[in-house]
Amino acid sequence: MYHQLTEQERYTLSVLHRDGQSLRTIARILDRSPSTISREIQRNRCHRTDGAYRPSKAQQRTNGRRRRTRQVRQHDADIYGRIEALLRYAQWSPEQIARWLALHGVVRISHMTIYRHVHRDRLAGGQLRSCLRQGGKRRRKRTFGPERRGKLHGKPMIDSRPAEVEGRQEVGHWEGDTVVGTASERVCLLTLVERCTGVALVVRLPHRTVKAVNRAALDAIQRSGLPFKTITWDNGTEFHGYRALEQATGVLCYFAYPHRPWERGSNENFNGLLRQYLPKGRSLARTTQADCNRIAHKLNTRPRKRHGYKTPIERMQELSGVLHLGC
């Protein structure tokens, strides 16, 4: 089977050619066809200067040709139109789009090809890059001081949870947190994420208090029809009424340690996805419960890598048999 000359072969060719060896001799030493050696020298010699064959220049020209050939689009406009629609309206990542299209027999395309398409669009003045989940964001250094939130002694901590919660093999174990818009407003959101499937509920709160959180959590548990066994909360004081929630529902509550977001990784990840629709600093005053339900549905129907690119709703239906999600 034919394959192109390697960089090492080009250096060997250069030495032999400089020593005055014939093309047939060089071909025999490299176990190549004489026409291959002749074509290599004619194609990659320095035509504009002294006409000599230099292996470094030859390799550089070969690499350039390879890059240019890869720029040829192998997919038609309809495929890229579908990809752009999934980026703009479904807000899926390029990897999710690539795997979903392959899984459903539409087309096989690399996620890096999609990223290159987005990059070309940006150079042409397009806005596809803003549809990426982390488009334009920069990381910032985080430093934590002493815990200033109110403390509640005797609350059950995360390390006292049942062992089956850690394994993510059983449906019904949730993580909860609140999400704020601007620092000065009272309106916020309660997010609940199921650890095994990734299904999430988003509830609008009129204010960030124990009473509002308990009322919203109780309503979500009763109306969603989803299994609830445990909830692991953030350390905010709005969750300090957990005992009343336990008595009303039988759901056991636990708390993560301060400044350890990885202990509630599912919830933190979901909150990051939520920021794609509700960025930090944007007021939530005009955000309705219908908006929350719409965003939650979009994220619950987004394919996930950890589920083999099935959606959280599909996983919930497989594991629990729940066919309808209420909020």
Quick check: helix, strand or coil at residue 130?
helix
> Does residue 174 sit in the same domain as residue 310?
yes
Q: What are the backbone dihedrals phi and psi of residue 314, each rounded to the nearest 5 degrees, phi first?
A: -65, -40
> Does residue 191 sit in the same domain as residue 286?
yes
CA distance 146 to 61: 59
Q: Quick check: is 146 in a domain?
A: no
Q: Quick check: is 230 in a domain?
A: yes
> Does residue 191 sit in the same domain as residue 47?
no
Average pLDDT over residues 217-230: 94
> Does residue 54 sit in the same domain as residue 110?
no
58-97 pLDDT, tens digit each:
999 988 887 776 555 678 889 999 999 999 988 899 999 9
> Does residue 106 sit in the same domain as residue 239?
no
> Does residue 93 sit in the same domain as residue 188?
no
> What confidence category does residue 327 fall into, taking pLDDT thresholds of 50, 70 and 90?
very low
> Does residue 173 sit in the same domain as residue 240?
yes
248-281 pLDDT, tens digit each:
999 999 999 988 889 999 999 999 999 989 998 8
107-149 pLDDT, tens digit each:
999 999 999 999 999 999 999 998 887 765 554 555 555 555 5
> Does residue 175 sit in the same domain as residue 312?
yes
Q: Quick check: is 253 in a domain?
A: yes
Which ranges in the chain belong to alpha helices (H)?
Answer: 7-18, 23-30, 34-44, 55-70, 77-85, 94-103, 111-123, 163-166, 210-224, 242-249, 265-274, 289-300, 312-320
Q: Quick check: is 327 in a domain?
A: no
Residue 222 has pLDDT above 90, yes or no: yes
Return the residue matching tokens 């993560």: 256
Q: Quick check: is 152 in a domain?
A: no
Is the C-alpha dihedral spanning 5, 8, 11, 12 positive or negative?
Answer: negative
Domain count, the chain: 3
CA distance 247 to 242: 9
> Does residue 310 sit in the same domain as residue 177?
yes
**Is 161 exposed, middle or buried, given 0-12, 13-18 or 19+ CB atoms closer than 10 A?**
middle
> Does residue 109 sit in the same domain as residue 59?
no
Q: Which of the listed residues 70, 88, 115 is the one where a domain comes to its end?
A: 70
* pTM for the structure as a whole: 0.66
By residue range, what is the domain housing residue 200?
158-320
